[in-house]
Structure formats: structure tokens, C-alpha cells
Amino acid sequence: MVAMLLAQVNVALMRADMDDPRMGGFVAALDPVYRMAEESRGFVWRLRDPGGGHRPATSGGQVVNVSVWRTYRDLHAFVYRSRHGAFVKERQRWFLPTPQPSTALWWVADAARPTLEQALARLAHLRRHGPTPRAFGVRRRFDPSGRTEGRPPVTHAREGRDQ
């Protein structure tokens, strides 16, 4: 049986261009936050900028993060329970709220590494169809076999918009 890993994409609409002073706190945090992710339990891989650096992908005023984790619990621990959680709480300083889901999760084979296009297609699927085994959010998840999983661990940080 092929081991399955959890892929995630997160898209956020920036309040200003990356080189704008209003984005300074976010830009300054990129290197430390990415290092923290890479050192976190369960981290497998993340999409890097074309030059191999730490800057996230950007598209049309959006910043896009794609990564792969061993389990949802590992991803959740990094996002909400590590020092990264403080940045999640401050996200309104740098990003505009969106009425639709901004994060999608899906299962990939152990050796798979999603492209930016594949990740954005999964997010589009979630936005069009709601949570399914093909693309789901943090509140209604599926296991690798397609069965609905239990509720996520309790957190005090707002987890973003999700169906």
C-alpha cells in the first residue's frame, strides 16, 4: 500500500505589494517562519519560489503557500500551536478577508509534490463543490480512503474560512 501524505494550499489576498512598507512585518517573518516549518514534526516539503528561495508564490496580488505534511495533526500543530500561530492571529494586518475558503487540503502519494497549478485547481474544486475527498478544508476533513474524519483538535486561533 502506498503511504499517503497531506498536501495543503493556502491563498491570501495581500493588502499591498510585497515591497510596500505595509507588508514589511510579513516579509521580515518569511525566512524564520519557513525555517520553523521545515524543522517542524511531520513537515515533508514546500513549494519554493522559482529561484529556490523562501518567498512564496504570488499571483494577481495573492500570496500562495503549498506544502506537504505527514498528518493533519502535524500541520495543525505548526499552523496554530507553534510560534506561527501568532502570525495567523495578525494576518488581517497584511491580508484582506475572503468570503470563500482560502485553504484546501488533499491526500497525495508519498513521492508526489504538487505544482502550483495542481494546488490552485484543488482550491477551486473546494470552492465550487464544497468539501469532498478530492479537496477539503480544516473543519470537514477526509482520510486517505475518502471517509470523513472526526473534528479537528480544538484551537483558540481562528482557523480561517472553511466549509
Highest mean predicted confidence (pLDDT) among 58-67, 114-123, 149-158: 114-123
**48 by DSSP, 3-state: which?**
coil
Residue-averaged pLDDT of the chain: 88
Predicted TM-score (pTM) of this structure: 0.86
At residue 148 the predicted structure's pLDDT band, cuts being 50, 70 and 90, is very high
Identify which has the larger pLDDT, 85 or 75. 75
Domains contained in the chain, CATH given = 4-129 (3.30.70.100)
Residue 11: per-residue pLDDT: 95
CA-to-CA distance for 119 and 64, rounded, in angstroms? 9
pLDDT (tens digit per residue) in 50-59: 776 656 777 6
DSSP 8-state assignment for residue 93: G
32: left (phi over 0), alpha (psi -120 to 50) or beta: alpha
At residue 147 the predicted structure's pLDDT band, cuts being 50, 70 and 90, is very high
User: What is the rounded average pLDDT of the residues 18-25?
Assistant: 93
At residue 85 the predicted structure's pLDDT band, cuts being 50, 70 and 90, is confident
pLDDT (tens digit per residue) in 113-137: 999 999 999 999 999 999 999 999 9
Report which of 69, 132, 147 is spatially closest to residue 101, judged by C-alpha positions: 132
